[in-house]
Chains A and B, each alone.
Chain A
């Protein structure tokens, strides 16, 4: 169906006069036929056009307002119209698509998107469903897939303000990925929203493990043994002065797995002679407070999730499950921000170190991508956090893709994440962002040119997204699925044969 006609413009801004019965929208996809193929274009701005002068328009408006509301213009649709500004996205040929490098001809018709125009949207290997293609606010009956293994290993940024459907999108992506075995997930969940304790959630998948300080039936208690903590895990969690850091490492070198117990409970004369007494006292007090431990009669009593006796296998079990292409949700909602980052740091370090070893042993190819979901990502990837020194998450952001380890960073403040890290995020899924500086940060670091899309991003409704990725041909507008609908169609039913039960 004809939507308009090309009348002027430039390569980055093709001006189209809208046909009077067409109703173009920001973000709408249109096509124009050329000898080479169809040019796929997208509306990025709409303005009024008129054959009448501004003075006459104001006069007519005055007459309609002040005297005769029924006043009709002759040939109104010819005299007043809408001008749409389009950016060319792709040229679609019979068997291929490529970036567009030409302009459609003068007065060539611009058509609304038809199904045959998007046949090039194929299902890749390791298909990850992002959503349905969207043209403006209209949902097109064509699903958008990316190669999930590529996407997750090259990091994902999900940028959106609160209430724009981040958790829904994240749940949908993970649910979809769990249908295959190409990726496992570690989800650090500060809002306890992914498992779905009291609502639909990922718990409906058999490939989900859940750790919480208050676990429902079937879940694991979040307990981590003190022997699993290394001094490096505190990077990004808290600031240590140089002498304090040296003291931590000195204890670790001497006592290895027992180093925290040694700091807290033991008197070590040889180390005491190397460090100022006050330094040892400070690290003892801060470790006790950070790890929520109590010392009485030279015994360590756990008041939080870190325990001297229990939780020996927790970190290894989580890493094992991620390696089995499962999603492990760690409910950190009851933890302080510092403890939450420490827990994430311990588990992420274990995962990353395993994957580094797999690479050197030539086993990496057989492993699924390990993807770490970070809510409120600037807490560990933000400029302020990184000023305190690198942490395991920033290392993964820089080097992870070589080791099939990726981050899914979720934030409403992408501008506080350094450009270098943003540039490393191969896929960015943009939901509604109202704040201009945040849109600017995303636009400047996108895989495709989004310089014209400021209005499109600002006008995204709930569930509408723009996906820019090094693995897609263009910045794809999508409508994300509704997780509640997916979960409602899933039934878990099994019957158990009870051998050995006496009546």
Chain B
């Protein structure tokens, strides 16, 4: 038995045109490796899409690829991740499933408020697959708490448990603050625990099998580009023992420049960057420039990024991006920012303003605010009329606020 374990494909994640195809390209490359490796099936542990309503172009390409996979008799089993769901619980995975292009394995019923999952059996290998979806705001924690583990544990055969949540015990360095689910909530005795959500791959022995988190197929933000360089997935093979090999997917190389600007002038920083890149060629790589610290003199705007960018593009860089969030100037009022990603910045700002809304709230204020922002951060889909779009946004918001509009 051999199968591929993908997670966090985040199709359509980058907005910049130069990177918008990167996650789709990574998916195509990964599928190519699956063909070469003759996998029996593919599992996708959540966040296949970056949004609940992906663009038609993205969907078209993905549907085509899934059809190709199907025609090669390679089943695709998936669970939804936190990005796959609209606030009203709609997911494009349902559309793909109804078209017969993949199977959503979170199946079952609720008996006495206990979640009783059923197994989806892979016909060719007999592998029994089930899992729990990921939801925004860690709502999947309630699913785990309600899980009828005994029923799952009693099942015999080769079993795979898919999940889209951080495991408390295995949170990687740098992501310690991530909400998580403890291992004790997982059913025991599975052969392979296929994880997603944490954008950093790992695998560990657990019980009689392995627990693995595949990480993204392609980095999803500036920090991931710096830290991971590239994404990947696991090829899992069961012979005498179970083995999971990580397969790197290289769409573009990544060259990261990081400068501590403390005690330097804007001109000196610019010179340092130029000196660091002058003897290099970038061969279609993505270049990240992170500037941190307090400039001794000059303003950040005095660093001539345009000339740096021009130089990098002239040296065949595919895309250049910079992060100056932690760069300050002694000529300006100091701006304190600890947060690194957009999500962290948003959360920090929300936390600063908690407690100002006096009406009774149906949920934790932080969670509610994040859910509402997520619901309102939507665009009119292609072909959607204004009235339908308005209705959808109102429906999402009213569901979150638990009010009728």
Contact = CB atoms under 8 A, between A and B. Distances in A.
B176 A215 contact: no
B388 interface: no
B171 A502 contact: no
Sorting the interface of chain A by its residue count into under 10, 10 to 19, 20 to 34 or 35 or more gives 20 to 34
Interface string B77-88: 000100001000
Contacts of B80: 500
Interface in A214-228: 215-221, 223, 227
A401 B243 CA distance: 53
Nearest to B80: A500
Interface in A224-240: 227
Interface string B87-124: 00101000000000000101111100101000000000
B297 interface: no
Contacts of A501: 106-110, 115
Interface stretch (A164-172, A179-187, A308-316): A308-316
Interface of B is mostly: mixed
Contact of A503 (B109, B173, B177, B180): B109
A310 B106 CA distance: 28
A167 B90 CA distance: 49
A313 B85 contact: no
Contacts, number: 87
Contacts of B169: 220-221, 223, 310-311, 314
B142 interface: yes
A248 to B, nearest CB: 23
Interface string A365-387: 00000000000000000000000
Given A219-B184, A501-B106, A501-B110, A310 B170 contact: yes
A218 B184 contact: yes
A10 to B, nearest CB: 57
Contact of A498 (B85, B104, B143, B178): B143
Nearest to B178: A313
A496 B149 CA distance: 17
Interface residue SS majority, chain A: loop
A220 B167 CA distance: 10
Nearest to A496: B142
B363 interface: no
B275 to A, nearest CB: 30
A218 B182 contact: yes
| Interface core residue of A217, A316, A500 (most chain B CB under 10 Å) | A500
A217 B146 CA distance: 10
Interface in B64-84: 80
B168 A499 contact: no
Contact of B176 (A218, A313, A494): A313
A500 B92 CA distance: 11
Nearest to A212: B184
A219 B85 contact: no
B185 interface: yes
A265 B143 CA distance: 42
Nearest to B184: A215
A173 to B, nearest CB: 26
A215 to B, nearest CB: 4
Contacts of A316: 176-177
B182 A312 contact: no
A334 to B, nearest CB: 15
Q: Nearest 9 CB-CB pairs, A to B?
A: A313-B176, A499-B89, A215-B184, A220-B182, A313-B171, A496-B142, A502-B107, A500-B133, A221-B169
Given A218-B182, A503-B109, 8 more contacts: A215-B184, A221-B182, A311-B169, A316-B177, A500-B85, A500-B133, A502-B108, A503-B108
23 contacts: A217-B149, A219-B182, A220-B168, A221-B183, A221-B184, A309-B204, A312-B172, A312-B173, A312-B176, A314-B168, A316-B176, A316-B177, A496-B115, A496-B142, A498-B143, A498-B146, A499-B89, A499-B135, A500-B106, A501-B107, A501-B108, A501-B115, A503-B107
